[in-house]
Chain A
Amino acid sequence: MSRGREMLLTLALSGGFLGFVEADAYRQDLGMLAIAYALLALGMYLPLALCGSLSLAYNAYFAIGAYAVAIIAQQAPALLPLAVPLAIAISMATAALLGLVTRKLSGFHLAVATMMFGIAVHTWLQNTDSITGGATGIGDIPRPMIFGWALDRGALIGLGVALIWLIATAIARLRVSLIGVAMRAQRESEIAAAASGVPTAALRILALAVGAGIATLAGVLLAFMNRFVLPDSFAIKVVFLVLFMPVLGGLSTPWGAVLGALIVVAFTLGFDFFQGPGSLTFGLLTLAVLLLAPAGLLGGFARLRRRERSA
């Protein structure tokens, strides 16, 4: 598919999604959860699919976005507009630092260090009552104002969909650019990339930082949507749910991560039938996809189209 057609098709699908979820309050809640997961999955996709860097601290970046909004709304409401850039900066700096200290070690160490950090952040949220409100979290978050206009739930969902389209499109374009080529090349042959002058460690840290920044937006949107934050929304189990989204959808395009997020929300919460055994269904579904289409759903779809055309 050409780049232009992909942009139009995904724009149309995003519009369709928006029309579907805006229908009632329940769908809006599910829609916002799907948006948050899709942003987390996109944030994970960038370092994982392009650089081969597996970070597991995404629940922490998710929490930083949500709690920055909640804490600032509670402690210094006048500074609320600064919450978003501040949260993104903190997440990016944290991701860069975690990447920096593990840069000389193998990818395994990055996964372990980031997972420990994610667990630590969740524990801290639960136990630091004076700042985070402990297990009961923080409530009464006001609606965000943009140019004197309060964003309602529908507008927040529209903003989330727009952000996803912009970020997925940007990552797809980045992927084929020279820096995307360098990222993917160092993933497969660090020797070749280094011999070509690519500062491989710095490139991986950049991808990790930008990915963390994207995941932070998920927390910001969710906090404004729900108007409260609870620590258990940011447990490490979120990361393992999100980890399979790009894999399920397909790693060859960032839209695979978005598709994976939609499937997860639909299967675990969306259909009554799946609500009970949702996680189990999802686990089995992921295994089935990995067996039948190792390149993920979109990858398998692209292969079928190629086969049809050549037949």
Chain B
Amino acid sequence: MTALRCSGIRKAYGGVGVLHGVGFTVAAGEILGLCGANGAGKTTLIDIIGGQQSHDAGTIELDGTALTGDAARRSRAGLARSFQRPQVAADLSLRENIALGLAGASIGSVAQMLRGFVRGIVTGACAGLDQVEAAARHLSLDRLDRRAGDVTFGELRLVELARALVQRPRLIMLDEPFSGVGDSGIAGIIEALRRIRAQGCAVLLIDHNVDLLTKLVDRMALLAQGEIVIEGAVETCLADDVFRRTYIGAV
């Protein structure tokens, strides 16, 4: 079953085209590796899907329904993501940053917000911390009382992933999740991605590490000159001349 379907996505910055009609799909329970040289438009593409950037033309569907509106609304529709440069609240603890992933489901509408307001005063505690602890444990993140501003870049990537996982998304988009992460963290990320794949979540993964990608992903897509030039099984892509020349050769 197709989870994410993009077609004809166009984007230009001040008349300079970046994406010229990009189309691809990610099935439920599938990991798609999105490759492309620096500046190919990978981050622009997932920013458009996530609602962080607008696009000029094209459609995006999640589970057969058009994905529209602002980033918060898309998140509540089942989309979670991490950022190339980790986006966290520096003054909050790691625990609170991960718990933020639970907020969309429980205070997403105005009625929920009012209920959450009253519930917060009555309980005087953050709901769902057991899920937060579990997600952190799976990724070998500990000492969750630390300020997010005080931990390493690699740990922030794990915090972002944990925050995305507690959202229980239908689609998760990760922008270079391995960069700056230590070996145990990488193992934790891979295990987490395999687990949510088994649960039927679709994963869209951007990374430069081709060795790592080929071991992990089910299919790959190559973005070059603003278009998807190849999309298919890992072996097909690795055997393809264009893929070798434009991507592996360029690294």
Contact = CB atoms under 8 A, between A and B. Distances in A.
B163 interface: yes
Contact of B116 (A177, A194, A196, A200): A177
Contact of A198 (B96, B103, B122, B124): B103
A3 interface: yes
Given A173-B121, A203-B113, A194 B75 contact: yes
Contacts of A203: 107, 113
A182 interface: yes
Contacts of B126: 176-178, 180-181
B122 to A, nearest CB: 8
A69 interface: no
Interface stretch (B17-25, B82-90, B241-249): B82-90
Q: Which size bracket describes the interface of A in this complex? A: 20 to 34
A147 B38 CA distance: 73
Nearest to B120: A177
A192 interface: yes
B52 A179 contact: no
B75, B89, B102, B113, most chain A CB atoms within 10 A: B89
B167 A191 contact: no
B11 interface: no
A106 interface: no
A194 B70 contact: yes
A170 interface: yes
Contact of A193 (B76, B100, B116): B100
B104 interface: yes
Given A189-B88, A192-B87, A181 B99 contact: yes
Nearest to B109: A199
Contacts of B160: 192
A129 interface: no
Interface in B92-136: 92, 96-97, 99-110, 113-114, 116-117, 119-128
Contacts of A195: 50, 52, 71-72, 75, 80-81, 83, 87
A195 B83 CA distance: 10
Interface in A106-122: none
B107 A182 contact: yes
Which 8 pairs between the two chains have the least Cβ-Cβ distance?
Answer: A197-B104, A177-B120, A173-B124, A197-B75, A188-B89, A192-B87, A182-B103, A194-B71
Interface of B: 50-52, 70-73, 75-76, 80-81, 83, 87-92, 96-97, 99-110, 113-114, 116-117, 119-128, 160, 163, 167
